């Protein structure tokens, strides 16, 4: 009579039973794509597109060039994926909130509501530490201020619809402003904000201004909207103001005339509209 032999079942390793080095190995092999995206995002925030290189990205991600080609096909596609990862969902949230305001308020829609639709989703996402939310605002600031034609072209092309929707909403509540004038004002307002957000010490400066008091998100957006609405609703530029600055140039001509002239192109109107309303409706 044969005696049955019971072979003990080999336990399947789980994350909890792995030693630290094995867990690190498991995490590393499973997240190469994510690490490449995170590395590209960090480098982009810190130095901008032109300062990034495949060597820096792969070194930070502890990956190789073959991994970039496998997951993305190249640097440009990696940068596209990095930006889309953050901006696609953000802009969907913005448009959803804008549509809600438009449908519920109708003719009572204000600049404050449109700015709220731009800023609230970004601020909410920035509070999500599990998804590296705190870096979102700096990413938005960098995306708007980065001068690279590659970044500019990508954002204008991919998010043109978002830009146009917000721009048209502003035109509805500010019908007295010519389209080009509105484009300039949005460009100045959001460009100034982007420069602040792109800085590494933004949070500490806000904390200094708050002087130890807790600053609610509604207070932060309220202060931001107060400044931007004032700029958007400012009177149109009058001839006497132009003359005043012209006299300043004349008085200090020897100094100012050495500077390169400011060139404007009417065709830039749509660029200001798209840039201003789309990729950096944040904060």
Number of domains, the chain: 1
Q: Examine the pLDDT at 47 and tell me if it is beyond 60.
A: yes
- Residue 244 placed within a domain: no
- Residue 215 placed within a domain: yes
- Residue 147 placed within a domain: yes
Confidence of residue 257 (pLDDT cuts 50, 70, 90): low
Residue pLDDT, tens place only, 223-247: 888 999 999 999 998 888 888 888 8
From CA 9, how far away is CA 201, in angstroms rounded?
Answer: 56
- Of 213, 211, 232, 229, the C-alpha closest to 221 is 229
| pLDDT-wise least confident of 22-31, 150-159, 193-202 | 22-31
Model-wide pTM > 0.85: no
- Residue 4 placed within a domain: no
Q: Examine the pLDDT at 109 and tell me if it is beyond 50.
A: yes
| Residue spans of beta strands (DSSP E) within 8-111 | none
Could you tell me if 167 and 276 are in contact, meaning their C-beta atoms sit under 8 angstroms apart?
yes
Tokens coding 130? 């599990």
- Residue 72 placed within a domain: no
Q: What residues have CB less than 8 Å from 67, skipping those under 6 apart? A: 32, 33, 36, 58, 61
From CA 158, how far away is CA 136, in angstroms rounded?
Answer: 19
User: Which residue has tokens 């660029």?
Assistant: 271
Confidence of residue 256 (pLDDT cuts 50, 70, 90): low
142 or 104, greater pLDDT? 104
User: Which residue has tokens 């982007």?
Assistant: 194
First to last CA, the chain: 79
Residue pLDDT, tens place only, 120-140: 998 888 887 666 677 888 898
Residue 154, domain CATH: 1.10.357.10
- Residue 245 placed within a domain: no
Residue pLDDT, tens place only, 167-217: 999 999 999 999 999 999 999 988 878 766 665 566 666 666 666 666 677
- Residue 168 placed within a domain: yes
**Best-predicted range by mean pLDDT (138-147, 158-167, 211-220):** 158-167
Q: Which domain holds residue 188?
A: 86-236+268-277
Q: What residues have CB less than 8 Å from 160, skipping those under 6 apart? A: 274, 278
For the chain, give the percent of residues with pLDDT over 70. 70
pLDDT, residue 94, reads 95
State the number of CA atoms in the 13 A half-sphere of 191 facing the CB: 15
Could you tell me if 32 and 63 are in contact, meaning their C-beta atoms sit under 8 angstroms apart?
yes
- Average of per-residue pLDDT across 88-112: 96
Tokens coding 249? 């140039």
- Residue 123 placed within a domain: yes
**Which helix (H) or strand (E) element contains residue 142?**
helix 136-145
Q: Where are the alpha helices (DSSP H) in 127-178?
A: 136-145, 149-158, 160-173
pLDDT, residue 82, reads 96
């Amino acid at each position: 009579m044969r005696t049955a032999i019971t072979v003990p079942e080999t336990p399947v390793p789980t994350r909890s039973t792995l030693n630290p080095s094995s867990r690190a190995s498991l995490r590393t092999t499973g997240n190469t794509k994510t690490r490449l995206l995170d590395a590209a995002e960090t480098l982009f925030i810190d130095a901008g597109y032109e300062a990034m290189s495949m060597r820096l990205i792969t070194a930070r991600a502890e990956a190789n060039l073959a991994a970039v080609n496998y997951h993305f096909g190249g640097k440009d596609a990696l940068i596209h994926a990095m930006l889309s990862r953050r901006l696609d969902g953000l802009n969907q949230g913005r448009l959803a909130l804008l549509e809600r305001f438009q449908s519920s308020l109708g003719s009572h829609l204000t600049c404050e509501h449109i700015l709220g639709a731009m800023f609230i989703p970004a601020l909410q996402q920035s509070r999500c530490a599990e998804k590296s939310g705190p870096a979102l605002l700096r990413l938005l600031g960098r995306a708007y201020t980065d001068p690279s034609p590659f970044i500019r072209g990508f954002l204008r092309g991919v998010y043109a619809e978002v830009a146009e929707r917000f721009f048209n909403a502003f035109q509805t509540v500010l019908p007295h402003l010519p389209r080009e004038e509105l484009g300039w004002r949005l460009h100045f307002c959001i460009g100034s904000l982007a420069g602040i957000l792109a800085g590494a010490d933004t949070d500490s400066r806000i904390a200094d201004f708050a002087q130890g008091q807790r600053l609610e998100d509604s207070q932060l957006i309220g202060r931001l909207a107060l400044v931007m609405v004032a700029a958007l609703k400012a009177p149109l530029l009058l001839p006497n103001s132009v003359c005043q600055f012209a006299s300043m140039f004349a008085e200090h001509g020897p100094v100012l005339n050495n500077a390169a002239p400011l060139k404007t192109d009417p065709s830039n109107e749509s660029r200001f509209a798209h840039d201003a309303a789309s990729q950096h409706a944040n904060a």
